[in-house]
């Protein structure tokens, strides 16, 4: 479906490609393929990256292709979606630690070209301004990789937030704290705040790649991509982005397919 607001402000509504894989490995491979294509065609591109359980297999696949000599990250620049406030790069649950240990340590990327918000920044507002300036200085994001929170969040943009924000500091919802708690020594150890790119920054990416896996994402995937667009479900705004690819396994996509959304061959 395409919605014309006016000749000069055309919004492509529903410019969504959906690819289905049999399982997590297949999903990871397909998503890694799409990222590879961008890196091969635009070696100095700026990739927007995510943490969480979903992209682990994607990074592993990209590392394998790098080791085979099929990928070269020497000129690639990256910006990550988010970082916990209060955690430094040495903390095992910080997103900087995750990115280094799961991806950057294993490829030939120049560490100075990899960017995350600084969880230890003394002045959060200044840090948000700095991070927005970093994204702009890199010419914006060519491809933004996203996972999907069970409450529909993207980055740490939680339900009810404003669509028009760039990088900002958020209070994590109880559901996100609970979802992340198993990774920490206790629920109390989970940070209560995080820096996140805002929906505006995400929507400004030229292309968006959403990766989803597992039955426990099936409901939210269907609501995000076939239900109403509302700040109560932050990822629903992606329906208005002109270039979104959703890659998921069967378990994560079946409810979206039941709602009538077609899957690419």
Residues at the site binding ligand F6R, with contacts judged by CB under 6 A: 50-54, 81-82, 147-149, 153-156
Beta bridge partners of 210: 146, 246
- CB contact at 8 A, 203 and 243: no
127 is catalytic: no
- Give the span between the Cα atoms of 23 and 39, in whole angstroms: 25
Catalytic residue among 25, 113, 132, 151: 151
- Could you tell me the smallest distance in angstroms from the CB atom of residue 69 to ligand F6R? 29
Choose between 12 and 102: whose C-beta lies nearer to ligand F6R: 102
Catalytic residue among 20, 38, 82, 166: 82
For 72-187, where are the E strands, in sequence order?
Answer: 77-80, 82-84, 114-115, 143-146, 168-171
- Give the span between the Cα atoms of 60 and 106, in whole angstroms: 9
Choose between 59 and 66: whose C-beta lies nearer to ligand F6R: 59
- Could you tell me the smallest distance in angstroms from the CB atom of residue 191 to ligand F6R? 13
112 is catalytic: no
- Could you tell me the smallest distance in angstroms from the CB atom of residue 153 to ligand F6R? 5
Cα torsion 255, 37, 242, 206 to 10°: value is 130
- CB contact at 8 A, 114 and 122: no
82 is catalytic: yes
- Our measurement of the distance from residue 42's CA atom to the centroid of its chain's CA atoms, rounded to an integer in Å, reads 19
110 is catalytic: no
- CB contact at 8 A, 217 and 204: no
- Could you tell me the smallest distance in angstroms from the CB atom of residue 197 to ligand F6R? 9
Q: What is the DSSP letter of 142?
A: S
Choose between 76 and 213: whose C-beta lies nearer to ligand F6R: 213
Choose between 53 and 262: whose C-beta lies nearer to ligand F6R: 53
Catalytic residues: 82, 151, 153, 158
């Amino acid at each position: 479906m395409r919605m014309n607001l006016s000749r000069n402000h055309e919004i492509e509504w529903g410019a969504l490609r959906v690819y289905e894989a049999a399982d997590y490995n297949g999903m990871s491979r397909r998503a890694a393929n799409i990222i590879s294509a961008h890196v091969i065609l635009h070696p100095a591109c700026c990739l927007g990256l995510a943490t969480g359980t979903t992209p682990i297999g994607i990074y592993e696949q990209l590392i394998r292709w790098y080791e085979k000599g099929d990928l070269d990250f020497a000129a690639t620049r990256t910006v990550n979606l988010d970082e916990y406030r209060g955690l430094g790069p040495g903390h095992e649950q910080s997103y900087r630690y995750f990115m280094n240990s799961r991806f950057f340590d294993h490829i030939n990327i120049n560490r100075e070209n990899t960017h995350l918000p600084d969880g230890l920044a003394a002045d959060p507002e200044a840090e948000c301004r700095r991070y927005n300036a970093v994204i702009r200085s890199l010419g914006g994001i060519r491809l933004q990789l996203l996972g999907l929170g069970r409450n529909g969040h993207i980055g740490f943009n939680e339900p009810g937030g404003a669509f028009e924000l760039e990088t900002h500091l958020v209070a994590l919802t109880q559901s996100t704290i609970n979802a992340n708690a198993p990774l920490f020594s206790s629920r109390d150890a989970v940070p209560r705040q995080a820096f996140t790119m805002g929906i505006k920054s995400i929507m400004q990416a030229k292309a968006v790649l959403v990766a989803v896996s597992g039955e426990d994402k099936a409901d939210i995937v269907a609501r995000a991509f076939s239900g109403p667009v509302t700040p109560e479900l932050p990822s629903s705004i992606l329906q208005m982005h002109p270039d979104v690819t959703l890659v998921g396994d069967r378990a994560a996509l079946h409810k979206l397919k039941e709602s009538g959304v077609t899957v690419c061959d």
